[in-house]
Amino acid sequence: MKKLLSGNEALARGAYEAGVRFASAYPGTPSTEILENMTQYKEIRSEWAPNEKVALEAVIGASIAGVRSMASMKHVGLNVAADPLFTFSYTGVNAGMVVITADEPGQHSSQNEQDNRNYAKAAKIPMLEPSDSQEAKDMIKEAFAISEAYDTPVLVRMTTRGCHSKSIVEISEPVATPYKAYVKDVKKYVTVPANAREMRKKVEVREKVLAAYANESPYNKIENEGRAIGVIASGTAYCFAKEVFGEEVSYLKLGFTYPLPDQLIETFCQGKEKIYIIEENDPIIEERVKMLGFSCHGKDTFPSYGELTPDVIRKSVYGTELPVIEYDQTKIIQRPPTLCAGCPHRGFFYELGKRKNVMVAGDIGCYTLAFAEPYNAMDFNICMGASFSAGHGAKLAFDLKGEDKRVVSVLGDSTFFHTGINSLIEVLYNNSRTVNVILDNRITGMTGHQENPGSGKHANGTEAPIIDIETVVRALGAKHVAVINPNDLAKVKETLDWALSLDEPSVIITKWPCVLKKMSSLDQEQFAGAFKTKYRVDSELCIGCKLCTKAGCPALSVNPDIKKAEIDRTQCVGCQVCAQVCAKKAIVKEEN
């Protein structure tokens, strides 16, 4: 049977066919849909984890106990999970274990751009790179076979285009993979230095064996032999290269990319007039080719960052681009992303942005958009869960310099569970004079509404215990805690005044559901009346002052013909923020 599948869907299918029984992940573009699609296979226990580190640790435990398991995450997530990955490379597996990293050349929705092929080399584990959905499915199955054959975790590297593009996939039934018996073996699995030093030696032996396998792997192959020009590429970059060069060049297509197949590379490069290395993003293949003694064109020809799409490759090699339809670019209106109409973060940042002499430490989520107009309510962000601890460091620095500047640190509910709890412990333990805000919109919003420990649902939609954020915060020792409705501007202002007046750490929890969330029965009970009303502008009272636009709601605009505000009722959900902002009380509730 054949199906049209995205790369992420194909990865999930491959895991199912490989006999995976446990999968864990933390959502993050472009990897999110992998775990989401795993939930359709009832034979697999699929879970959202609080963060990538604990996801990987859980699947490591399952592997040791004898069950094939898999973790998936975006590229920055592997930074979080690197600690257990490096150690598991030493111990090796019992049942097969695979880690999928979804890299993002071009930074479509990420705070940085990194090449996680470096992790395979650093951790000394084998790596596969699918170029399309069929290979995504097939390589997952191969990865589990390699994992068990060579006693190693295996890294599978995807990129955004490979994750989200679709192609035809031939599917098959799952293979019979009996559970492996668990046998206690402390010399294999307990990494005290005396054991780990012996494990380290085995890793070196394994790497040499895998290097030999790389030259025989069916996923490393020479295509279109006999051309004067050669192209070496891996993953989606191979597809991009074929679109540009077609049949004019020979290809060394690499799918098993760590260790690299030295003998195959040497065979391919012999006698070539010119060799292009097309890889996103770091010159890993290029450096190896040069180390083997061959001249090649890599980062001297192609960009070191961004996606190497066909137009980029074409312009880099030929200096030209395919013709496109000409248009007046001055007429293109820039539309930056914005918080949705009715977003519960809007009212809070409207008030916070008016504060003077305050630094705002931000985090990763929808709320990062608060840095922009009209809020201007965020100074910096670093990575998941960093806002509280970074805010603490900033406040410490201001105090050391004798500057009377306050710090407000902000993160979301899923981010709090991810790594924000540790950051809050840092703040409370060191008695930081910071204001720490948890924006609880009851769901993991930015990546498309995945469940988290505070949402009341598991990944498969079944009921889950709710870990109450206020209870956790108070259990950590926070003495000054306030829970507020962020749509109530007067309450937001009052609470910020209170928190900024304290000489000890405080925690503000804003609690209101994401406007796009599918409301549970508990949500409907707790937030009765939410999203049930609409507001309109009374044109007789409106004076066209545009003050309401400072709330930044996309449902609200100013009609240039009459120079007065208008509300698009198809977007309005009755959050009341604009009505509270209007000094003339011209924004009123619609009558039923």
Q: Residue 245 is part of a domain; what is its CATH number? A: 3.40.50.920
- 480 pLDDT band (50/70/90 cuts)? very high
- 574 pLDDT band (50/70/90 cuts)? very high
Domain that holds residue 514: 345-526
Collect all residues with Cβ–Cβ distance below 8 Å to 64 and sequence separation of at least 6: 91, 93, 94, 182, 189
Q: Does residue 551 sit in the same domain as residue 505?
A: no
Q: Does residue 431 sit in the same domain as residue 455?
A: yes
pLDDT value of position 109: 86
Domain boundary among 216, 235, 252: 216
Q: Does residue 551 sit in the same domain as residue 510?
A: no
Cα 265 from chain centroid? Answer: 33
| Residue 564: strand pairing partners | 559
Q: Quote the tokens at residue 57.
A: 């640790």
Q: Is the pLDDT of residue 365 over 90?
A: yes
What whole-number distance in Å separates Cα of residue 21 and Cα of residue 239? 32
| 120-138 confidence digits (pLDDT tens) | 999 999 999 999 999 999 9
Residue 359 phi, psi (nearest 5): -95, 135
Q: Quote the tokens at residue 578.
A: 């604009």
Give the angle 372-387-494 at the CA atoms, nearest 5°.
70
Domain boundary among 190, 216, 242: 216
Q: Is residue 328 part of a domain?
A: no
Q: Does residue 377 sit in the same domain as residue 314?
A: no
- 415 pLDDT band (50/70/90 cuts)? very high
Q: Quote the tokens at residue 357.
A: 């002499």
Residues 159-172 have a mean pLDDT of 96
Domain boundary among 318, 336, 363: 318
Q: Does residue 208 sit in the same domain as residue 351?
A: no
Question: Do 459 and 451 form a contact (C-beta atoms < 8 A)?
Answer: yes
What whole-number distance in Å separates Cα of residue 337 and Cα of residue 372? 10
- 208 pLDDT band (50/70/90 cuts)? very high
Sheet containing 127-128, strands listed edge to edge, beginning at the edge strand earlier in sequence: 45-48, 22-25, 69-74, 97-103, 154-159, 127-128, 256-258
CA within 13 Å, CB half, 105:
23
pLDDT value of position 57: 97
What whole-number distance in Å separates Cα of residue 301 and Cα of residue 299? 5
* Residue 381: CB atoms within 10 Å: 22
Q: Is residue 142 part of a domain?
A: yes
Sign of CA dihedral 205, 211, 212, 214: positive
Sign of CA dihedral 336, 338, 340, 341: negative
Question: Do 552 and 339 form a contact (C-beta atoms < 8 A)?
Answer: yes
Q: Quote the tokens at residue 207.
A: 């790497």
Residues 337-346 have a mean pLDDT of 94
Question: Do 515 and 340 form a contact (C-beta atoms < 8 A)?
Answer: yes
Residue with token string 């060579």: 150
Cα 277 from chain centroid? Answer: 28
- 523 pLDDT band (50/70/90 cuts)? confident
Q: Quote the tokens at residue 577.
A: 């923020």
Q: Does residue 208 sit in the same domain as residue 240?
A: no
**Region for 439 from its dihedrals, namely left if φ exceeds 0, alpha if ψ lies in -120 to 50, beta otherwise:** beta
| Residue 480: strand pairing partners | 506
Residue 234 phi, psi (nearest 5): -135, 160
Q: Does residue 464 sit in the same domain as residue 350?
A: yes
3-state secondary structure 19-72: CCCEEEECCCCCCHHHHHHHCCCCCCEEEECCCHHHHHHHHHHHHHHCCCEEEE
Q: Does residue 539 sit in the same domain as residue 514?
A: no
What rounded mean pLDDT belongs to the chain? 96
Q: Does residue 34 sit in the same domain as residue 178?
A: yes
CATH number of the CATH domain containing 542:
3.30.70.20
3-state secondary structure 284-329: HHHHHHHHCCCCCECCCCCCCCCCCCHHHHHHHHHCCCCCCCCCCH
What whole-number distance in Å separates Cα of residue 113 and Cα of residue 75? 8
pLDDT value of position 335: 83
Q: Does residue 128 sit in the same domain as residue 271?
A: no
What whole-number distance in Å separates Cα of residue 251 and Cα of residue 253? 6
Residues 331-349 have a mean pLDDT of 91
Q: Quote the tokens at residue 391.
A: 């805010």
What whole-number distance in Å separates Cα of residue 34 and Cα of residue 24? 10
Q: Does residue 233 sit in the same domain as residue 91?
A: no
CATH number of the CATH domain containing 114:
3.40.50.970
What whole-number distance in Å separates Cα of residue 218 and Cα of residue 169? 18
What whole-number distance in Å separates Cα of residue 182 and Cα of residue 174? 23
Q: What is the pTM of this model?
A: 0.93
Q: Which amino acid is at 591?
A: E
Q: Is residue 501 part of a domain?
A: yes
Q: Is residue 273 part of a domain?
A: yes
Share of the chain above pLDDT 70, in %: 100
pLDDT value of position 587: 96
Q: Is residue 274 part of a domain?
A: yes
Based on C-alpha coordinates, what's the Rg of the chain? 27
Q: Is residue 333 part of a domain?
A: no
Compute, in degrees rounded to 10, the torsion defined by CA atoms 429, 511, 459, 342: -140
Residues 194-219 have a mean pLDDT of 97
pLDDT value of position 592: 65
Q: Is residue 332 part of a domain?
A: no
What whole-number distance in Å separates Cα of residue 512 and Cα of residue 441? 5
Question: Do 385 and 411 form a contact (C-beta atoms < 8 A)?
Answer: yes
Q: Is residue 331 part of a domain?
A: no
Q: Quote the tokens at residue 532.
A: 């049930």
CA within 13 Å, CB half, 240:
25
| 238-271 confidence digits (pLDDT tens) | 999 999 999 999 999 999 999 999 999 999 999 9
User: How many domains are there within the chain?
Assistant: 4
Question: Do 573 and 580 form a contact (C-beta atoms < 8 A)?
Answer: no
Q: Write the DSSP symbol of residue 589.
A: E
Q: Does residue 172 sit in the same domain as residue 36?
A: yes
Collect all residues with Cβ–Cβ distance below 8 Å to 413 and sequence separation of at least 6: 438, 439, 440, 441, 442, 443, 444, 452, 454, 469
Q: Quote the tokens at residue 428.
A: 């409370």
Question: Do 412 and 449 form a contact (C-beta atoms < 8 A)?
Answer: no
